[in-house]
Structures are given as structure tokens and as C-alpha cells.
């Protein structure tokens, strides 16, 4: 059996449909063939591997739940989650590209755009002909996006866009950017900015120790003329970008399980093979404790996301439930990566194994899409009714 055998301690596969398993296994096979062999070098070189774009489109990772009439895969939320899990087992940076394209670019165009915008952009984004990025965070407004200063001014025939976004995944090569900016009334609007518009530039952010195979950059708007037809008409206010984040955070909750599975699997194999003091290190209680706790935490995270997926399929998952899963599962994966690295001793720090790359990647994942602290405060607000952010 060539395919990775994912931990399934509680026989969760029995809860999946035939379609879920087909979709997951196709993604798993693609990751094994196209991502795993090249990803370590891409991360070492800090280069986004463009060779994977068409494959991501083929496995349905660009718009898994977007209807087929717009080029999406028309799948349910569990299939979406399973695709993210398999991709992130390869690399969080590759999953980032899929998350941004699906939930932060295609989702707002589908949900908040008009029919012309949907027809113009969605099929090209689904096929990977276009890559998109999502500009919410600014240099002075990260956790508090409502304070943004990027703005649009109504000039009659068009809007004039000024400001800057920072830490934007895929910015350096994106064909389009979904950007959030305030109008003269201070109301947040979503707009589609296209590469080539005068005054729009996307400098790359260098020297990252994390998500090295994903390209990150700024979006700079210097009197960019935005045609009025590029405004997303159907929702505005901070709830519009936050609604996109709900979908991306849900995918990350699944994705983190994939990274954790890969670290656990690597550590378990290594522990069984590595001999010290005349025995495999897996026979020592301290190593068994690490491995036993890993599989326990992975199993709990799987149960959390599966249930969240069923709620999401029914349209009943709340933003706070999604926050809890994102926060729990990313921390779980990061802790497992740190423990798994220790199981490998010195070998754990090399690129011969994927663990250190996962660990470094997860330092971004625990910060982006709402930091670990912010998600805790969202849970706190949900159970007390009192927002402690401000």
C-alpha cells in the first residue's frame, strides 16, 4: 500500500461517505506524487512551487464547495475539510494557497459579488488560470481590522483607492486581489483590484522562517482607479471579510490535523526503527507517552472537525464554534510537531524529515486568520457575552 495510512483510531472513516473517501484519496495521492517530492527544496529555496497550481485545481482544491456552474467542485464541507487535511499533510504553505483562493477570493465573489463578477472571475480561479489574494491586514491593523485606513473615494465614474495591506499570501504573483477598504462614510467595502492597474504594486516580503514555500507580500495602492463594476455589491461592513475568514478558518482546522498526522506518523516510524541502549526508542516509556498523547490529541481534533463539518453542512456552525476548532487544532498540531521533533533527536532538525518544516509553518498558522489569543477571546465573548478585545 503506497498511500499514506492516516491515523484513524476511532474508525472515523465509517462516518465518511464514498464521495468523501474518493475525494480524500485523490488529494492524498496527488500530494504524495506532486507535493512531497518537491516541497522541502521549495521551502529551503523560499520559492512558491508554481508547478502545483494545475494539480490543486484538478483535485478540486480551488473552490471545493463553490457550485459547479461557476467551475467549483460542488462538494460538501466535509470533502472540503478532507482536501485541506491532505494538502496540509504535505505543507501548510500549499494549503494556504488553496485556502486563500477558495475561501478568501472565490467565496466573497460568489457570496457578495453579482452574476457578472461571478461569471467573469470564478471559472478562471477554479481552473488556476487566475490566482487571487485577500487584503485585509494592514501594517497598523492586524487583529483589529475594523481600524483599517485603506480607503476609497467616489470620483463619479470610478473610485480612487489609497492605502496599503501587509502580510498578504500570494500577493507577489496574484492576478487579482480582493481588497477591503473604507468609503467616505467609514463603511468597509470589498473590491476587486486587478494586476496591471496603475498605482498598484505588490512587493514581496523576504526572510521568513515560516511558510517559506508560500509567497507573502504587500499590496500598495497609490491613487488606483477602481471601476465601479469592481465593487462587491451584496455585502459590506466588517462582517463581510469576517464571513470569508469563517470559511478559511474552518479549512485550517482540518488542515492542521494533516500536519499533525504527518509529524505523528514520522515520529512513530522513527521511534520503532531507531535503536538506542540496544532497543528501539519506541520501547521507552517516555517516547510512548509522547506518541500516545499525539494520537489522543489527533483523534480529539478529528472528532471536533467532523462534527463541525456536519453542522456546517446544515448551515448551523457558528463563527465561535469555528474559532474554537481553529484554535484547538492548530495548537494541537504545533505541540505535536515540537514533540515529534524531539523523538527524532538531531535528525529532527534536518530537512530529511518534514517535521521541522511543519513546525515552522505552524508558527504562521497559529497567528494568521486570527491569532491564538483572539480566538480564545472570541470563545470568551461567546460564553460570557462580554467582548474583551477592546
Question: Which uninterrupted H or E stretch holds 227?
Answer: strand 216-227
User: What cell was used for 44?
Assistant: 529551503
Contact partner, 238, from ligand TGC, ligand FAD, none, Cβ < 5-8 Å per class: ligand TGC
Contact partner, 373, from ligand TGC, ligand FAD, none, Cβ < 5-8 Å per class: ligand FAD
Name the residue whose CB lies closest to ligand FAD.
Answer: 142
Indicate which single residue of 7, 55, 146, 280 sits in contact with ligand TGC (rule: CB under 6 A). 146
Q: From CA 121, how far away is CA 291, in angstroms rounded?
A: 46
Q: From CA 117, how far away is CA 217, in angstroms rounded?
A: 25
Determine contact, residues 210/361, Cβ cutoff 8 Å: yes
Q: Tell me if residue 369 is catalytic.
A: yes
Q: Confirm or reject binding of residue 139 to ligand TGC (CB under 6 A).
A: no
* Minimum gap (Å) between residue 308 Cβ and ligand TGC: 14
Determine contact, residues 56/63, Cβ cutoff 8 Å: no
Q: Which of 199, 229, 221 is nearest to 121 (CA)?
A: 229
- Neighbour tally for 123: CB within 10 Å: 17
Determine contact, residues 127/57, Cβ cutoff 8 Å: yes
How crowded is the C-beta side of 111, counted as CA atoms within 13 Å? 21
Point out the catalytic residue in the list 218, 297, 339, 369: 369
Q: Confirm or reject binding of residue 319 to ligand TGC (CB under 6 A).
A: yes
Q: Confirm or reject binding of residue 203 to ligand TGC (CB under 6 A).
A: no
Indicate which single residue of 127, 143, 162, 283 sits in contact with ligand TGC (rule: CB under 6 A). 143
Build a one-symbol-per-residue string for 236-275: x at contacts with ligand TGC by CB under 6 A, - elsewhere.
Answer: -xxx--xx-xx-x---------------------------
- Closer residue to ligand TGC, CB minimum distance, 7 or 142: 142
Determine contact, residues 344/270, Cβ cutoff 8 Å: yes
Distances (CA, A) of 382 to 87, 323, 334: 31, 10, 25
Name the DSSP letter for residue 235: -
- Closer residue to ligand TGC, CB minimum distance, 66 or 245: 245
Give the footprint of ligand FAD on this chain (CB under 6 A): 100, 133-137, 142-143, 167-169, 211, 216, 364, 367-369, 371, 373-374, 377, 389
Q: Confirm or reject binding of residue 380 to ligand TGC (CB under 6 A).
A: no
* Minimum gap (Å) between residue 149 Cβ and ligand FAD: 14
* Minimum gap (Å) between residue 248 Cβ and ligand FAD: 9
- Closer residue to ligand TGC, CB minimum distance, 360 or 374: 374
What is the widest separation between alpha-carbon atoms in the chain? 80
Q: From CA 136, how far away is CA 190, in angstroms rounded?
A: 10
Contact partner, 77, from ligand TGC, ligand FAD, none, Cβ < 5-8 Å per class: none
Contact partner, 79, from ligand FAD, ligand TGC, none, Cβ < 5-8 Å per class: none
User: What cell was used for 20?
Assistant: 468523501
User: What cell was used for 315?
Assistant: 448551515
3-state secondary structure of 189: strand
* Minimum gap (Å) between residue 317 Cβ and ligand TGC: 11
Catalytic residue positions? 369
Residues in contact with ligand TGC by the rule CB under 6 A? 96, 99-100, 134, 136-137, 143, 145-146, 169, 237-239, 242-243, 245-246, 248, 319, 368-370, 374, 378, 387, 389
Amino acid at each position: 500500500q503506497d498511500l499514506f495510512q492516516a491515523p484513524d483510531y476511532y474508525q472515523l472513516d465509517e462516518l465518511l461517505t464514498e464521495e468523501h473517501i474518493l475525494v480524500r484519496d485523490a488529494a492524498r495521492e496527488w500530494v504524495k506524487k506532486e507535493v512531497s517530492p518537491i516541497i522541502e527544496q521549495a521551502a529551503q529555496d523560499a520559492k512558491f512551487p508554481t508547478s502545483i497550481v494545475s494539480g490543486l485545481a484538478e483535485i478540486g482544491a480551488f473552490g471545493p464547495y463553490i457550485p459547479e456552474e461557476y467551475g467549483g467542485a460542488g462538494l460538501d464541507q466535509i470533502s472540503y475539510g478532507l482536501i485541506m487535511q491532505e494538502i496540509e499533510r504535505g505543507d501548510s504553505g500549499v494549503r494556504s494557497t488553496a485556502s486563500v483562493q477558495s475561501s478568501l477570493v472565490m467565496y466573497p465573489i460568489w457570496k457578495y459579488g453579482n452574476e457578472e463578477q461571478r461569471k467573469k472571475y470564478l471559472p478562471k480561479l477554479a481552473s488556476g488560470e487566475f490566482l487571487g489574494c485577500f487584503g485585509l491586514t494592514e501594517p497598523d491593523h492586524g487583529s483589529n481590522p475594523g481600524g483599517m485606513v485603506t480607503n476609497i473615494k467616489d470620483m463619479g465614474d470610478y473610485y480612487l483607492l489609497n492605502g496599503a495591506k501587509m502580510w498578504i499570501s500570494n500577493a507577489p504573483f496574484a492576478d487579482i486581489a480582493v481588497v477591503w477598504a473604507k468609503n467616505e462614510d467609514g463603511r468597509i467595502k470589498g473590491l476587486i483590484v486587478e494586476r496591471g492597474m496603475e498605482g498598484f504594486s505588490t512587493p514581496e516580503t523576504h526572510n521568513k522562517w515560516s511558510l517559506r514555500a508560500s509567497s507573502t507580500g504587500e499590496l500598495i495602492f497609490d491613487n488606483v482607479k477602481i471601476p465601479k463594476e469592481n465593487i462587491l455589491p451584496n455585502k459590506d461592513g466588517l462582517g463581510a471579510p469576517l464571513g470569508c475568514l469563517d470559511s478559511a478558518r474552518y479549512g485550517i482546522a482540518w488542515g492542521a490535523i494533516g500536519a499533525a498526522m504527518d509529524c505523528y506518523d514520522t515520529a512513530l516510524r522513527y521511534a520503532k526503527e531507531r535503536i538506542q541502549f540496544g532497543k528501539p526508542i519506541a520501547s521507552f516509556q517516555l517516547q510512548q507517552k509522547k506518541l500516545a498523547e499525539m494520537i489522543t490529541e489527533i483523534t480529539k481534533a478529528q472528532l471536533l472537525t467532523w462534527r463541525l463539518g456536519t453542522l456546517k453542512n446544515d448551515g448551523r456552525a457558528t463563527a465561535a464554534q469555528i474559532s474554537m476548532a481553529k484554535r484547538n487544532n492548530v495548537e494541537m498540531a504545533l505541540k505535536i510537531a515540537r514533540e515529534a521533533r524531539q523523538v527524532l533527536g538531531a535528525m529532527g532538525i534536518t530537512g530529511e524529515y518534514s517535521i521541522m518544516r511543519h513546525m515552522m509553518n505552524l508558527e504562521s498558522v497559529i497567528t494568521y486568520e486570527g491569532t491564538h489569543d483572539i480566538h480564545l477571546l472570541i470563545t470568551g465573548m461567546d460564553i460570557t457575552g462580554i467582548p474583551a478585545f477592546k
